Chains A and B, each alone.
Chain A
Amino acid sequence: MNVTLRIQRFNPETDSKPHWEEYPLDVEPSDRLLDALHEVKWHHDGTLAFRRSCAHGICGSDAMTINNVNRLACKVLMGDLGARVTVEPLRGFRIVKDLVVDMEPFFEKYRSIKPYFINYDPDPPTERYQSQEERERYDDTTKCILCAACTSSCPSYWGNREFLGPATIVQAHRFIFDSRDQGANERLEVLNDRDGVWRCRTIFNCTGACPREIKVTQAIGEVKKLLLFNRMV
């Protein structure tokens, strides 16, 4: 099938602002958008910059805005995108070059909620046991791959870059609701800040953008409710 790939380009060394360039391609409907981007980079314009690593929807490095919605380039089939495909870098982040954005503000917020296991008890002689129900409680939010598709789709984040963003709250949820973890209060203090969970306007763009189908808005709601009533829901 013949498609036109319309890619937003930006070279900080020569451009003052981003512009669009079009690439006519012959692709298979079963090709992924990542394959089409490779086709452009390897056979049309080697200066095109974009991130990718595993190419199988696990590493989360090739999130971008495809036809005006955030997706992973390695999980979208060309047959599902139509004859004219627009590709632009994730919104809300500074563009480094072409489709590569500066993720440092994103990871800075991620680190602020202490995304690691905290337990002040002496190390037990065996592993820390957990029932299936206790594990199930936070199972959904363990699936996050930190691709930033959710945070970049959030109008609250577009309006206020200090907002922690959905991905950070999802990561906090993963540890707060872990029965073995003891760092909930430290994380809730950060989440209760004026730029924490209360900036969420329940818009659901994050849930729609998540390539792992995490119920992001629900997770944020559970953290809000925990803060409001100071009890697990």
Chain B
Amino acid sequence: MMAAITNLFRAVTYRGQEGQIAWMLHRIAGVGVFVFLAGHIFDIFLMAFGPDVFDALLFFYHQFFFKLLIIFGLYLGVLYHALNGIRIVIIDFWPGMAKYQARLWRIQLGIFVLAYIPSATIMLSRMFDGS
């Protein structure tokens, strides 16, 4: 545990460049998505205890706060994780692209903003519409 805290301290304080920020966000997004998927598997498991138990959990899922969490947590995390993964795949399969890694990171962020803002806006508007 102490080693994990030490490494976290190193990662936060070391003055890396774009790649380090991209990696840290990738890890945070990855852990977040994992937690959500684990929860999702757990709620399916609750079906074994009958509809009442499962419906109680669905009630929680339909709460306003949880819907916000889907848009500003899960969706944001999955989109970032996927785009950053594509950037890493590009560099891994074409090592010569490494010299453009900072530019690739900015392009990735641009695509992220272009994809996230309109789709999140649509999701939010539907949420407030009640649909």
Contacts and interface: CB of A to CB of B under 8 A. Distances in A.
Interface of A: 65, 67-69, 91-92, 153, 155, 158-159, 201-205, 207-208, 215, 217-222, 224-225, 233
Nearest to B13: A68
A207 B15 contact: no
A221 B92 contact: yes
Contacts of A69: 14-16
Nearest to B26: A201
Contacts, number: 77
Interface residues of B, number: 23
B34 to A, nearest CB: 17
B98 A153 contact: no
Given A68-B15, A69-B15, A225-B93, A205 B98 contact: no
A208 B17 contact: yes
A112 B1 CA distance: 30
Contacts of B7: 155, 158-159
A215 B96 CA distance: 10
B95 A155 contact: no
Contact of A201 (B10, B18, B23, B99): B23
A218 B101 CA distance: 10
B25 to A, nearest CB: 12
B68 to A, nearest CB: 31
Nearest to A217: B98
A221 B91 contact: yes
Contacts of B16: 69, 153, 203-205, 208
Interface string B41-52: 000000000000
Contacts of B31: none
B11 interface: yes
Contact of B92 (A67, A68, A155, A202): A202
A173 to B, nearest CB: 11
Contact of A155 (B11, B15, B88, B98): B11
Nearest to A223: B95
Contact of B96 (A92, A208, A218, A224): A218
Given A153-B14, A224-B92, A205 B99 contact: no
B39 interface: no
Nearest to B91: A202
Contacts of B95: 217-222, 224-225, 233
B110 interface: no
A205 B92 contact: no
A9 to B, nearest CB: 18
B119 interface: no
Contacts of A220: 95
17 contacts: A68-B14, A69-B14, A91-B10, A158-B10, A201-B23, A203-B16, A203-B19, A203-B23, A204-B98, A205-B17, A205-B20, A217-B101, A218-B95, A218-B96, A220-B95, A225-B93, A225-B95
